[in-house]
A = this chain, B = another copy of it.
């Protein structure tokens, strides 16, 4: 059994008694071709099992209709959700997804080179930082780049994120309002914009309102690291009575350690707040109070923006921030007031509305 050759447009043309151009036009929406010819071509194509070769097409059109997508940290359930939504969103617009997973913690450069060799129409980097060398390279090649759930220090790269800063501030206010006094913060990846922004929102509000800075540990957005950090934090004599975890994934790790290794009850002995509002965090066992990053709106914004950048290379840099809510569940003691129902969920809205992004 040898590898068979695919039928080509020329084969179809011969069978249908038309030129190869006609076959091409028959498969190009909006091309100038008589309905009867199109039908004859379609029939011949069916007989031969012909499908236009996307590779050859891309070579001539100079558009691949492929979008490179980088995603690491699939352990965090936020990202599988994102991938799924992204896949459907891009597919609906006629794009394919070339997926690659950069080695965690490092720049994505080497694999990215492979992806760029495919002349992708755009690049979406989820939870990935971009080396400035590569940013320049994409800029020079005119390849739109979009950071998802990250921003770049180089502000020329567009991004879609949640409200990291506002979320951090709101969580600080929430925890203080509910009477916590020994706060802890569990950072994600140190040089990630999300972790930085969430932390500076959190600490910023505390400082501005005369509260001491929180205890601090680093969990690198990973389960085991977060669990280890939780052990350090909870073993302290001045153990915190509330911990803001950089994301839900780490918060579940902290909950596991707190309950099963320290025998703590949540939220009686320890309050937990996460970020993302996704995955197991919603299950009754965790019932995590968390600032939401709504996947579908974020992905919708991403798809819309990336398509715009592809169609109009002159699209200016944009940083879209998708609105989130502090979803209140059972993992943190509740403040006496400010909780309101919204779309069948309980969310927290501080009474004085002076929180700014």
**Residues of A with Cβ closer than 8 Å to B?**
1-4, 6, 49, 51-56, 58-59, 64, 66, 69, 74-75, 77, 79-81, 83-84, 87-88, 91, 96-101, 111, 113-119, 137, 140-142, 252, 255-256, 259-260, 280, 283-286, 313-314
Contacts and interface: CB of A to CB of B under 8 A. Distances in A.
Nearest to A64: B55
Contact of A51 (B75, B100, B116): B116
Nearest to A58: B55
A283 B252 contact: yes
B280 A260 contact: no
Stoichiometry, as copies per complex, reads: 2
Nearest to A81: B74
Given A51-B113, A142-B2, A260-B284, A91 B100 contact: yes
B83 A74 contact: yes
Top 8 A-B pairs ranked by shortest CB distance?
A: A74-B80, A260-B284, A3-B142, A54-B117, A99-B99, A87-B101, A80-B80, A54-B118
B256 A285 contact: yes
A142 to B, nearest CB: 4
A222 to B, nearest CB: 13
Contacts of A252: 280, 283
A117 B51 contact: yes
A340 B238 CA distance: 41
A83 B59 CA distance: 29
Contacts of A101: 83-84, 87-88
A111 B98 contact: no
Nearest to A115: B96
